[in-house]
Amino acid sequence: MAANSRLTIAVHALAWLELARRRGRGVLTSDEVAASVNTNPVVIRRSLGRLADAGLLTVRRGTGAGWSLARGAEEITLLEVYDAVDPEPVFALHATEPNLECPVGFGIRPALGHVYGAVELGLRRELARTTVADVLAETLRVKQQ
């Protein structure tokens, strides 16, 4: 399966919001974020809406509205972003229930669930080690090269 790009879009938007904040613009509209990500504003609203639900962003409606970071970028880990936008498991179990008459069919799902749980835990631990500020720093470092 081709993976989705939701985490990428969300982190991109957060990094852009942080850079704009440092430049004195604490609030950006969906159109402004979409211009950097190069996609439709509705895609941005879909993504940032989940981040706002999770408390990572605050959103203001009406004239002069837009999105702003609810916390410092160095306090937002990619794990929080992941949980906010992409609560899908990495590996799926069987599409249809296996044959429970077979000892393997009977016991394999909890056994694999165990392994997949450990994998997912490692993935979460890795995502928790990086913040939006880290990503922005690395992003700007690339720019200078």
Contact footprint for DNA (CB under 7 A): 1-2, 4-6, 29-31, 39-43, 45-46, 48-49, 52, 59-67, 88, 92, 95-96
Interactions with its own copies, residue window 82-121 (CB under 8 A): 88-99, 102-108, 110-112, 114-115, 118-119
Angle at 31 between CA 28 and CA 36, to 5 degrees: 80
Q: Per DSSP, which regions of 10-143 are E strands?
A: 57-60, 66-69
* Beta carbon nearer to DNA, 54 or 137: 54
Burial class (CB within 10 angstroms; exposed 0-12, middle 13-18, buried 19+) of 126 = exposed
Contact window for its own copies (CB under 8 A) among 47-55, 58-66, 67-75, 130-138: 130-138
- Cα–Cα distance, 56 to 85 (Å, whole number): 11
In whole angstroms, the minimum distance from the beta carbon of 62 to its own copies comes to 26
* Beta carbon nearer to DNA, 40 or 113: 40
Nearest to 133 by CA among 78, 86, 84: 78
CB atoms within 10 A of CB 73: 20
Residue with tokens 């790009």: 5
Residues of this chain that interact with its own copies (CB under 8 A) are 1-5, 7-9, 11-12, 15-16, 19, 35-39, 78, 88-99, 102-108, 110-112, 114-115, 118-119, 122-123, 125-127, 130, 135-136, 138-143
